[in-house]
Structure 1
Amino acid sequence: MSPLRTYASKHKSKAMSTETLIPASQQISASEGARAEYSKAEGKMSTAVEWYRKEVAGFETRASGRVTPALLAPVRVEAYGKKSDPVRLEEVATVGVKDGSMLIVTVFDENNLKAVEQGIYSAKLPNIVPQRQDSRTIKIPIPKPTVEARNALVVNAQRMAEDTRVQIRKTYAASIKKGGYAKRTVEYEEFQKLADRNIAEVDKILSQLKKSSGSK
């Protein structure tokens, strides 16, 4: 079992030069339950951050004006009328790029064309308007993003960033409440650091989006 950190004094804490070599989840307590809860909270926070990272990656693509199949990544399709089991677009169709400014969606089975078309509309992607070309093909012209469109993407990303921060804070609060950890205990401080670290990562992702899109 890894040695516990102590907070008897700031001087002692600083003197423990080897403590950074011990994983935080093992530092927080001798209690197996506390370490398990830390691991659980860490996983939930990491999942929230990675979800946000992927959403922002899509925003960056749209803000840059690059036309790639990834623009349709959020689309879900109720193939063959299965409303309870929607699938990703790439499972029922191919997505290509034509002339650098148009997406071409070709369904594997023409019976799914209407469902694909509806899935694209339901995704509510900015400036994405499907146009049926034939029984198996949908074309989607992609206009160059305006300043207003880029700003709208950043505003949306800011809203989603706050939602992600709230989710991280809720996970933190639930872990503290479950363990009954008091302030200034090792457990309390380590869970706080975990939350702060993940929130800082969300802030970093948002900052990079603002920089790449030219927004302040």
Structure 2
Amino acid sequence: MSQHTDRAEKSMDKCIEALKANFARVRTGRANPHVLDSIKVDYYGQPTPVTQLAGVKVPEASMLVVEPWDKSSLRAIEKAIESSDLGITPSNDGVCIRLPFPRPTEERRRELAKECSQMAEDSRVAVRNARRDANARIERDEELSEDEQTREKKRIQKLTDTYVAKVDELLKAKTAEVMEI
């Protein structure tokens, strides 16, 4: 593999990783600890991720339990979750915080599936942009003959097709998870 193909593959890998991270934040009826990844708690004046202040457990499919290591941060964590865009009301029992995940309605599941489709489309566009950038670098590379450039572009296209297929697989799996009752 050439440097152009390597560079394009790294760029496309980043697109897939970003899509996986976005999909992890989509709230389905199933409790997923990753929905807390983006929530920051004001801990002694520092915005700190919830996952660094507490253990997050999934005791059942529709419940998350957040157990802070420092019990004095319990209220701050609860406040951060309440003010987030999760749409879940936490219940604080003085020891831990419970987050019940209600089952989404049919209409809400369709909306979530639509959002996932848009995220996947954005990833496909990002993969195609990586292809375009790689092809532009190949065309500017004066060390490559015309035949070598054509071969490189074909390799880049094959790589693009592979990554677009990965995006489609991830979307199919996530849509099935979202639509599951």
TM-score, L = length of structure 1: 0.65
Equivalent residue number for residue 91 of structure 2 = 131
1:128 counterpart SS class: coil
- Compared CA separation, residues 100 and 111, structure 1 to 2 (3 A): same
The runs of 5 or more residues in structure 1 that have no matched partner are 1-24, 26-34
Superposed CA deviations along residues 123-145 of structure 1, whole A, max 9, x for unmatched, are 523x42223443x5322222122
Query: Any residues of structure 2 matched to 1:1-216 within 5 Å, and which?
Result: 25=1, 35-57=2-24, 59=26, 62-63=27-28, 65-83=29-47, 86-87=48-49, 89-97=50-58, 101-121=62-82, 124-125=85-86, 127-134=87-94, 137-180=96-139, 185-214=150-179
Structure-1 separation of matches of 2:10 and 2:176: 29
| Pair 1:122–1:67, CA change in 2 (3 A) | same
Question: Is the partner of 1:144 in helix, strand or coil?
Answer: coil
**What is the CA–CA distance in structure 2 between the aligned matches of 1:214 and 1:196, rounded to whole Å?**
27
Who is 2:143 aligned against?
none
- RMSD, matched Cα: 3.0
Distance 1:90 1:38, change over 3 A: same
Cα displacement string for residues 84-106 of structure 1 (whole angstroms, at most 9, x for unaligned residues): xx43x332102234566433222
TM-score (norm 2): 0.76
Cα distance in 2 for residues equivalent to 1:169 and 1:118? 41
Task: Give the whole-Å Cα distance in 2 for the aligned partners of 1:195 and 1:39.
Answer: 12
Contact 2:55–2:67 (CA under 8 A) maintained in structure 1: yes
Q: Is the 8 A contact 1:74 1:123 kept in 2?
A: no
* Change in 2 beyond 3 A, CA 1:101/1:185: closer
Decide which structure has the larger Cα Rg and report it.
1
Partner SS, residue 105 of structure 1:
strand
How many residue pairs get matched?
174
Tell me the distance in 2 between the aligned counterparts of 1:53 and 1:185: 32
Structure 2 Cα separation of the partners of residues 68 and 185 of structure 1: 45
Q: 1:115 to 1:169 in 2, by over 3 A?
A: farther
Q: 1:142 to 1:39 in 2, by over 3 A?
A: same
**What's the CA shift for 1:174?**
1.5
Q: Specify whether residues 169 and 78 from structure 1 end up closer, same or farther in structure 2 by C-alpha distance, changes over 3 A only.
A: farther
Give 1 or 2: higher strand fraction: 2
| 1:71 CA drift (Å) | 4.5
